[in-house]
Amino acid sequence: MPASSQPHSLALRSTKNRALVSLTPLIDVVFILLVFFMLVSSFADWRTIAVSPPLATSGQSQGFTGAVLVEVRGEGQLRLSGEVLKLDEIAERLEPILDGTPDQRFIIKTVDSVQLQELVDVLDQLSAAGAEDISFARAEGAR
């Protein structure tokens, strides 16, 4: 074998023995880690509504005398003591009521077709206006 051909064959042999690093497994691992941390992370910044049950009083009901009735009928239809209102109008209508009696009691009455988000929007409006004593009532025939 001539001496000139030997270095050439060694050069070819060294490039064939080098292992190629594939990035596909690395991308798969990064993707799995991403999915894992997305599923495990906590969503602590969700808004919550504090609901406390009424205090038990020797078997007497507090009654609905003097309470303001807010009816949620679905699809943005509201009634405040019988008057038809839109959701964004309810806060300004409650200001005079709450100025006179800040401890005014409110009763929210819903029908079966009301979405939970609509009820939460009404609760947001009531609490933004300053209402604190809020109760719920079911419509007759509701489940």
79 close to 37: Cβ distance less than 8 angstroms:
no
Q: What's the whole-number average pLDDT of the chain?
A: 74
Domain of 83 in residue numbering reads as: 68-138
Q: Which residues contact 131 (CB under 8 A, 6 or more apart)?
A: 94, 98, 104, 106
Q: Give the strand pairing for 77-80 and 68-74.
A: antiparallel
pLDDT bin (cut points 50, 70, 90) of residue 116 is confident
Q: Answer whether residue 28 is part of any domain.
A: no
Asked whether residue 128 carries a pLDDT value surpassing 50, the answer given is yes
Q: Answer whether residue 79 is part of any domain.
A: yes
CATH number at residue 84: 3.30.420.270
Q: Answer whether residue 74 is part of any domain.
A: yes
Per the structure, the count of domains in the chain is 1
Q: Answer whether residue 100 is part of any domain.
A: yes
Q: Answer whether residue 10 is part of any domain.
A: no
Tens digit of pLDDT for each residue in 37-79? 888 876 655 666 665 555 545 444 556 677 888 888 777 778 8
Q: Which residues contact 115 (CB under 8 A, 6 or more apart)?
A: 74
Q: Answer whether residue 56 is part of any domain.
A: no
Q: What global pTM score does this model have?
A: 0.53
Q: Answer whether residue 132 is part of any domain.
A: yes
Tens digit of pLDDT for each residue in 73-107? 777 778 887 788 888 888 888 888 888 777 788 88
Residue (of 118, 130, 66) closest to 93 by Cα position = 130
